[in-house]
Amino acid sequence: MAEELSQMIGQEVLVVTEAPQLNLLGQTFRPIFCGTVNEVDVGHITLFPVIIKMVNAPFYQFPLPLSIPLDKLVAITSNFDCDTVFPLT
């Protein structure tokens, strides 16, 4: 899987992870992220810049690179425009 993902470095992707919901800075949100693949390693993918798709702030740009374990990925869509608007509820 890491080999396939390494071909996506530099591309914008939409990523959904395994958790039903996450909590960050007091905001609960679905685990939907959009960003540019910055690094791929044997056990994780790193997105930067990355947008966390939250209901209250659907275009919240996370200030740090975000690494996601490959075993927690549920779906990944390549060549996805992070400016795309879609319902989160």
What tens digit of pLDDT does each residue of 16-65 get? 999 888 888 788 888 999 999 999 998 999 999 999 998 888 899 999 99
CATH for the stretch 1-77 = 2.30.30.100
Query: Would you list the domain boundaries of the chain?
Result: 1-77
What tens digit of pLDDT does each residue of 59-82 get? 999 999 999 999 999 999 999 999
Among the listed residues 48, 82, 80, 78, the one whose alpha carbon sits nearest the alpha carbon of residue 62 = 48
Q: Is residue 44 within 8 Å of residue 77, measured between CB atoms? A: no
Task: Give the pTM.
Answer: 0.89
Question: Could you tell me the sign of the dihedral formed by the alpha carbons of 17, 19, 21, 23, in that order?
Answer: negative
Distance CA 74, CA 6 (A): 17
Distance CA 14, CA 78 (A): 7
